[in-house]
Amino acid sequence: MRKICGFPRLQNGTQLARRSESARKRCPVEKEPFVKGLIFSELIRFMEEQQDPLFVERVIAAAKLPNDAAFSRIGVYPTAHALLLVGEASKLSGIPVAALCEAFGSYLFGRFTILYPEIMSSYSTAESLLEHVRGHIHEDVKVLYPDATPPEVTATTQDGDCVVEYRSHRPLAHIACGLIRGCLEHFGDERKIEWVNCSESGDAATFRIAS
């Protein structure tokens, strides 16, 4: 049975933001968890495409962010702001936070293939890409964005299955799951993703891609 970690039990954006703070205290990688403005821009785009611009305006108004959701793609912003937006989108749409995060992750992978074709075209299978996220792809990301702090993502083969581990100072395991699903879909890989484990805050998870 597929395991869902912490997010579905959260009721609002404030609780989501508190989970971000909890993850920060446990992880020494970064004093404050930030997300690149590019991710915020893509989140807004995702909501507009899945709903409409008016829905996005309602989400932004409900989230009451200090910058009114004016994000520069090259800037960095608190992870808590992203979680507030997702929390309000969940309340307004009635879609569970976990489902929204996974759908966004899958969408985001598709966008990465458009934004970074020179990186994505280097791989011919989902497994080869996942195995090089840490050693190649995220290193390329750091070249493009020197201030970026990508999560630790490793993929290994265990008992014939691909096992992917996600570790981060950001509680975004469900987005990571969506990214993996988007990766599989991109390569026409019909294998299923199973949750092996997930931390309570969503900042660490292990997935098995089973045949």
- Amino acid type, 197: N
Query: Rounded to an integer, what distance in angstroms lies between the CA atom of residue 2 and that of residue 115?
Result: 31
Three-state DSSP at 46 gives: helix
In sequence order, the 6+-apart residues with CB closer than 8 A to the CB of 171 are: 6, 7, 16, 19, 20, 22, 23, 79, 83, 201, 202, 203
Query: Rounded to an integer, what distance in angstroms lies between the CA atom of residue 116 and that of residue 99?
Result: 25
The mean predicted confidence, pLDDT, of the chain is 85
List the structure tokens of 79.
Answer: 């992870």
Say yes or no to pLDDT of 20 above 50: no
Assigned fold of 7-210: H-NOX domain (3.90.1520)
List the structure tokens of 162.
Answer: 């691909």
* Cβ(171)–Cβ(6) below 8 Å: yes
Q: What is the pLDDT of residues 133-185, one digit of tens each?
A: 977 677 766 676 677 778 899 999 999 999 999 999 899 999 999 999 999 99
Q: What is the pLDDT of residues 158-168, one digit of tens each?
A: 999 999 999 99
Say yes or no to pLDDT of 23 above 50: no
Looking at the DSSP assignment, which residues form a beta bridge with residue 106? none
CA 20 → CA 14, 17, 115, distances in Å? 10, 5, 27
Domain positions in the chain are: 7-210
Check residue 137 and give its pLDDT. Answer: 78
Query: Rounded to an integer, what distance in angstroms lies between the CA atom of residue 37 and that of residue 78?
Result: 10
List the structure tokens of 207.
Answer: 């997935």
Looking at the DSSP assignment, which residues form a beta bridge with residue 153? 166
pTM assigned to the model:
0.83
Query: Rounded to an integer, what distance in angstroms lies between the CA atom of residue 138 and that of residue 144?
Result: 10
List the structure tokens of 154.
Answer: 């490793």
List the structure tokens of 84.
Answer: 């507030």
Query: Rounded to an integer, what distance in angstroms lies between the CA atom of residue 9 and that of residue 56?
Result: 23
